[in-house]
Amino acid sequence: MKKGYNELKMTVDAKSVNESFCRAAVGAFIAQLDPTVEELSDIKTAVSEAVTNCIVHAYAEQDGKIYIQVRITDGVYTEIKIRDTGCGISDIAKARQPLFTTLGGDRSGLGFTVMESFCDVLRVRSKPGQGTTVVIEKRIFGKR
C-alpha cells in the first residue's frame, strides 16, 4: 500500500436511521487528518446530503444498500464515493439545478447544491435503473 494512503469501505441499509451513522463514521475516519472544525463539518454535511439522496430518491419505499468508500491520499486529499443501485437519474444536469426535486412536498431540491458548496469537486454518475455514484473530493488543510 502506498505511503499516505488509507481507505474505509462500508455498506449500510438505505434507512433514514443510518444517515447519522454514515455521517459520523466518515467524520471519524477523516479525523486522522486533523481537520479544522469547518472542514469536518463540510464533509459531514456533504455525506449527509448524498446518503439522504440515496434513501429518499434512489430507493424511495424499497429496500436497498448504500456503499461508501473513503480514500485518503498524500495525507491531505479525501475522496468519498457514495453509491446506490437504485432507480438512477435520467437527467443529471437538471437534477443538479438548485430547487429541482422530483418529489415535491417538503423537499427543497438543494441536495446537490449543498454538496457542491461544501467540497472542492463533486462528480455524479448515474444510469436509469442501475443507480447513482456521487464522488466528493476535498483537500484538508487542517490545523497545521
- Which of the residues are catalytic? 49, 53, 107
Q: How far apart are CA 131 and CA 125, in angstroms?
A: 9
Beta bridge partners of 9: 69
Cβ-contact 14, 54 below 8 angstroms: yes
Locate cell 431540491: which residue?
109
Cβ-contact 115, 5 below 8 angstroms: no
Closest by CA position to 56, among listed 94, 26, 95, 24: 95
Cβ-contact 30, 42 below 8 angstroms: no
Beta bridge partners of 79: 71, 137
Q: Which helix (H) or strand (E) holds 143?
A: none
